[in-house]
Structure 1
Amino acid sequence: MLAAQRASGAQIAGLILPVSLSLMEFALLAVAGFLAGLIDAVAGGGGLVQIPALFSAYPNVAPATLIGTNKVASMSGTATAAVRYGRTVRIYWGATAPAVVTAFVFSLLGAWALTHIPAEPLRRALPFVLAVLLVYTVAKKNLGADHAPSLKGWRERAAALLAGAAIGFYDGVFGPGTGSFLMIAFVRVFGYDFLHASASTKIVNLATNVAALLLLAAKGHVWWQLGLVMAVANVAGNQVGSHLALRHGSRFVRKVFIVVVLALIMKTAYDAFIR
């Protein structure tokens, strides 16, 4: 009985704090959380920094545990940015609310799938999908420059339900680039400018983060102490990023979006085909 209690205590301690974490690694992961929050608040794609940092620090840990820990930080920062955007930018709930519902449900399904299926095929396809997204955004120079919602009624709701389901599942099962995919969906499908798209993206992305975190936490795939430290840093980064986006507007957000997607392509291609 005593041995079982000790084993259980060791398992709980492992979920709270990674025993191999040095002070330097702790600090570097906090910096990664700050940078991820800043990038995420402006254009999405904070996972470009945060997830590779976790995987580099813990190459032998189950991916589900690292992604679960990442969700603690991402959820906190995204919630902060969503509140700040909501106070300044009008949220168009006709598309945002349906997307939130299906994104939440399908992110749960994606997080469940993460614990049961390999992510390698998705990892290899991601650079090509992002490349198409980048080429399209660069070619359409006026894309996201003007805010002109293009869908109404049931068409808007149907498109939002589909977009939320597809991107929500992706965020639950893998994650990097989720904010970028949501941004381009709100810009291209719904006719938003980049600033309004960024505001709606934060709300939908918050739903996917909460859903995935609930499932992964229930399965024990979260290091809470590390996740909370990264969350504080991520919130600080999101505050800075949302301030920059609101101050400089859609043109600034578009430029950052293009840079982030280009960096995502290089990083995901390296991870999938070279490393």
Structure 2
Amino acid sequence: MELWLVVAAAFLAGVMDAMVGGGGLVTVPALLSTYTSLPPALLLGTNKCSSVFGTTVAAWRYSHRVQLDWTWLAPAALVAFVGAGLGAWTLTWMDPQFLRKLLPWVLLLVLVYTLKSPQFGLHHAPIRQSARARLWLALAIGAGIGWYDGFFGPGTGSFFIFLLVRWLGQDFLHASASAKVLNATTNLAALLMLAATGHVWWQAGLIMAVANVAGSLVGTALALKHGAGLVRRVFMLVVVLLILKTGVDAYVV
């Protein structure tokens, strides 16, 4: 019965993650509250095992329906992979407590900016810039958010989407598709790091992965059918939930 609860959570997380990220809001609390006797690191590794399959399938689905610019996306994905590995390494000697306090306020700024700009992310209008400038911006996004995902993690998908819309002029649908590619590589880096240290419960993780993939198929279908408008609304909802969750974790718990 316990396993079915986290499997259901993995499905819901897959739907959310495929659209705008934030699936960890569902699966991590579900794992931690269901398996209270197991080490948190083991459960976090199990969550990565589940989510890496979902994000990879979502990225594959988007790539067949949304035109992705691989000239900057592929290098950015590679840099994001390396950044996530460095972030996980940084975690071994630095306490992320300062980010825990800062994160709710950063997310609040993201929400306010999105709300103040009604057309933000609704139209796909890549910013006119040289290929070199676009590549450097993409590499900065991949390196910065990739490192953050390995070091701390909450809101990674939302940060990828926001910066891709803001800096590269993508709409929310294209940004979500690109973010899935980047997030798949950061999840893989984190999974490899955690697996190498024995912090993955493979039996549960692989069963959750099946549910997560099913959820990601539903999420990508909804995003592709309803477009950037729906993705924008779900994005704002997830950011609000992230603000509440990270705020409680930082200042109440």
TM interval, shorter chain, is over 0.9
- Bigger Rg, structure 1 or 2: 1
Q: Does 1:188 align with 2:166?
A: yes
Measured against aligned partners, the alpha-carbon deviations of 1:98-131 in whole angstroms (never above 9, x if no partner) come to 2101100010111223344333222222111111
Q: Aligned AA for 1:148? A: A
User: 1:52 maps to what in 2?
Assistant: 29
User: 2:67 maps to what in 1?
Assistant: 90
Match of 2:175 among 190, 197, 206: 197
DSSP 3-state at the match of 1:251: helix
TM-score of the aligned structures, taking structure 2 as reference length: 0.95
Measured against aligned partners, the alpha-carbon deviations of 1:33-68 in whole angstroms (never above 9, x if no partner) come to 111100011111111111222222345644432221
DSSP 3-state at the match of 2:109: helix
Partners of 1:109 and 1:202 in 2: how far apart?
Answer: 20
User: 1:28 maps to what in 2?
Assistant: 5
The answer to whether the 8 A contact 1:104-1:210 is kept is yes
Partners of 2:35 and 2:110 in 1: how far apart?
Answer: 31
Q: Aligned AA for 1:144? A: G
Structure 2: stretches of 5+ with no match in the other structure: none
Q: 1:50-199 counterparts in 2 under 5 A?
A: 50-59=27-36, 61-150=38-127, 151-199=129-177
Partners of 2:211 and 2:97 in 1: how far apart?
Answer: 30
* Distance apart, 1:32 and its partner CA: 1.0
The answer to whether the 8 A contact 1:64-1:115 is kept is no
User: 2:202 maps to what in 1?
Assistant: 224
DSSP 3-state at the match of 2:119: coil
Structure 1: stretches of 5+ with no match in the other structure: 1-23
Measured against aligned partners, the alpha-carbon deviations of 1:161-198 in whole angstroms (never above 9, x if no partner) come to 11111100111122221110000011000000111111
Measured against aligned partners, the alpha-carbon deviations of 1:54-107 in whole angstroms (never above 9, x if no partner) come to 222345644432221111111000011111111110011233122101100010
Partners of 2:39 and 2:134 in 1: how far apart?
Answer: 39
Identity %: 54
Bigger Cα displacement from structure 2, 98-107 vs 241-250: 98-107
Partners of 1:144 and 1:193 in 2: how far apart?
Answer: 4
Q: Does 1:207 align with 2:185?
A: yes
Q: After TM superposition, what 4+ stretches of structure 1 lie above 6 angstroms from structure 2?
A: none
User: 1:241 maps to what in 2?
Assistant: 219
* Distance apart, 1:152 and its partner CA: 2.8
Report the aligned-residue RMSD: 1.4
User: 1:9 maps to what in 2?
Assistant: none
Partners of 2:73 and 2:117 in 1: how far apart?
Answer: 24
Note closer, same or farther for the CA distance 1:62–1:113 as it changes in structure 2 (3 Å cut).
Answer: farther
The answer to whether the 8 A contact 1:99-1:160 is kept is yes
The answer to whether the 8 A contact 1:110-1:173 is kept is yes
The answer to whether the 8 A contact 1:94-1:156 is kept is no
TM-score of the aligned structures, taking structure 1 as reference length: 0.88
